[in-house]
Homo-oligomer: A and B are copies of this chain.
Amino acid sequence: MDKHSILVQLDTDSLPSVFDRVVAVDAGMQHIFSYGGVTPENVVPLVQGCIFTRGPGDLKRTAIFVGGSDVLAGELLVQAIREAMNPFTVSLMLDSNGANTTAAAAVLAAGKHLELSRTSSLVLGGTGPVGQRVARLLAKHGGQVRIGSRQKERAEAVAAAIRTDIPYANIEAISTASREDAPKALDGRELVVAAGAAGALLLPAKIRQNCGTLKVAIDLNGVPPAGIEGVDLTDKAKERDGMICYGALGVGGTKMKLHRLALQSLFERSDLVLDIEQIYALAQKL
């Protein structure tokens, strides 16, 4: 990392994330400019400060990271930043709430054990920011994807959005509102990924154990109790009941490496936009 390289951390929360700053230091960044409370309304001068200070050949030494706990706010901020980068650009990465690096690391883990182009999968909590991204990556690989949600219409909307971007996507929505839905949702699945809210048990142990086709279970819930009952936070390709299990910390090591790699790659060019697909492409180089 060039000693004049600058990472501009634009956070939608009022106090900018310590987590993201520590990762930036560990990725070798010398200069990190951290801003909290950034919105589409106040971001324009911050972006202009990035693009109007250095010559075109030096713009790759400045990059923007968008973070914060609210993924939707991050997406809107990225949109405003892209509009403000005119005529010049600096590279830009979105990882609000760690959603992109977490989803990419989870799918990378699954791909170590399954041929994803032929895998049938179920994403529980599939309408949240991480779940949507996992479903999108799995659909892009060509496998059969089910998006489970307690509100089926929300899952339908996510499926439709993915189909718009990936016309060949083999994706369907399924309700997981009641306990009886789970066996049906799981039917014929080789992979299950749980990406629900903390504290929500999405898949009881019995139902999981009774599913004859399941080969890999990935639980991205970082706070006990587990989203997939029986999977431990620290499981990393751990075999349980004949299936390969990952917990949030088991995926976390890869997530952190990917976060650092993505930050470093921002400084290779001045026109990168690292969202879920570009970050997943980087994950495959790990």
Chain A contact residues, CB within 8 Å of chain B: 4, 6, 8, 13-15, 17-23, 25-26, 31-35, 37-38, 42, 45-50, 52-54, 62, 69, 256
Residues of chain B contacted by A23 (CB below 8 angstroms):
53
Q: Is the CB of B17 within 8 A of A49?
A: yes
Q: Does A49 contact B35, Cβ atoms closer than 8 Å?
A: no
Residues B49 and A18 in contact, CB atoms below 8 Å apart: yes
User: Which one, B8, B18, B62, contacts A33 given CB within 8 A?
Assistant: B18
Each complex incorporates copies of this chain amounting to: 3
Nearest B residue to A48 by beta-carbon distance? B19
**In the complex, how many angstroms separate the beta carbon of A154 from the nearest chain B beta carbon?**
27
Contact B26 A45 (CB under 8 A): no
Residue of B nearest to A8 (CB): B18
In whole angstroms, how far apart are the Cα atoms of A181 and B4 in the complex?
A: 49
Contact across chains for B6 and A49 when beta carbons are under 8 A apart? no
* Cβ contact within 8 Å between A31 and B25: yes
Contact check: which of B6, B13, B25 meets A25 at CB < 8 Å? B6
Report chain B residues within 8 Å CB of A37.
Answer: 14-15
Q: How far is the CB of A98 from chain B (nearest CB, A)?
A: 10
A178 to chain B, nearest CB (A): 34
Report yes or no: A22 in contact with B53, Cβ–Cβ below 8 A: yes
Which chain B positions have C-beta within 8 A of A54? Answer: 22, 26
Q: Which residue of B lies closest to A222 (CB)?
A: B52
> Considering the chains assembled together, what is the distance between the CA atoms of A69 and B18 in angstroms?
23
How far does the alpha carbon of A35 sit from the alpha carbon of B47 in the complex, in Å? 18
